[in-house]
Amino acid sequence: MNTPKDILLKMYETMLLIRRFEEKAGDLVASGEIKTPCHLYIGEEAVATGVCQALNKEDYIFGNHRSHGHYIAKGGSLKELMAELFCKAAGCSKGKGGSMHVIAPEVGLLGTPPIVAASVPIAVGAALSSSIKGEDRVSVSFFGDGATNEGVFYESLNFAALKKLPVIFVCENNLYSTHMPISKISADTNIAKKASIFNMPGLKIDGNDVIKVYQTAKKAIKQARKGDGPTLIECVTYRLRGHVGFSDDLDKGLRSKKELDSWMARCPIKMLEELLTKEGILSESEKNQISQKIEREIEEAVIFAKESDYPEEKELNKDIFKEN
């Protein structure tokens, strides 16, 4: 196995942290305690975890409407994220962003614009800035399969390839654009192939295999860092909850239980856990310790969020424009 044991264990813990956080958030949405719409990352944890593990703290990432996982994987504060879901002033976006506008500039997460494909040109702009300044910094844009049908996606790939910018385009292809299967939207569902138009590498990988994601991202990031330009990585994955909220969307008749069950059997956390156990890297006691630690952290985050204050009315017009 080429990946060091400490990195494997760190990725396992990160994925489990994202999963447990999202499950708790889903419960709080169901109970009505969290009011902001939440697009849960359950099932897709390997993508954010694998990519962010390959990045430096100083590198930039940009997310979308389903970005709790990106925030956590890049090292954002669990307490501040939970507080933001409760729309409290102690939240990472000061209670003004909710679930779909989380931010953590202190660890390189510069924003999660929920407009489809919006993070793609912003990441390119950040990469252009880094290139002009001569900074050793890579930018990553996370987006869904639906974003690849937007014109700005193609414009951004073209400009990034033309200027050989240090940016990685990570498509989290969960096979559905809101509720529409990708096969009913795109004449050609091979997203990675689109990169060839712009003479850049396009790779299609198993997005539920965190080791594969990590190794692929690491190579692409190394190439970008040394000036070889961008890469498009299509990570085929699946969201185990519905488009938004805590349900599984089976009641809508848009996907079958058979399909859902087949992807649940390929849960990225379960796959890595089985591998680590088989290789003697993760013992039962270590697994329990990690689980208990995560449960404590999440419970502390919930208490912090509930005890925090809401923003004051005088804060309403602040943070809209850059202040001198």
What pLDDT was estimated at residue 34? 95
Task: For residue 208, count CB atoms less than 10 angstroms from its CB and return exposed for 0-12, middle for 13-18, buried for 19 or more.
Answer: buried
Q: State residue 177 phi and psi, 5-degree precision.
A: -100, 100
What pLDDT was estimated at residue 246? 82
> Mean pLDDT, 10 residues at a time, over the chain (324 residues)?
91 98 95 93 97 97 96 97 96 93 95 92 97 96 94 97 98 84 82 95 97 98 96 94 81 79 90 95 95 97 96 85 76
List the chain domain ranges: 5-238+248-307
What pLDDT was estimated at residue 298? 97
- What does the alpha-carbon distance between residue 25 and residue 156 come to, in Å, rounded to a whole number? 33
Which residues on neighbouring strands pair with residue 191, listed in sequence order?
A: none
- Name, in order, each residue with C-beta under 8 angstroms of 144's C-beta and a sequence gap of 6 or more: 64, 66, 116, 171, 172, 173, 174, 177
Task: Quote the DSSP letter at residue 134.
Answer: T
The domain made up of 5-238+248-307 is a member of CATH 3.40.50.970:
yes
Strands (E), the chain: 60-62, 109-111, 139-144, 167-173, 176-177, 180-181, 202-206, 231-236
Radius of gyration of the chain (CA): 19
- Cβ atoms < 10 Å from Cβ of 151: 8
Question: In Å, what is the CA distance from 38 to each residue of 83, 206, 227?
Answer: 13, 25, 37
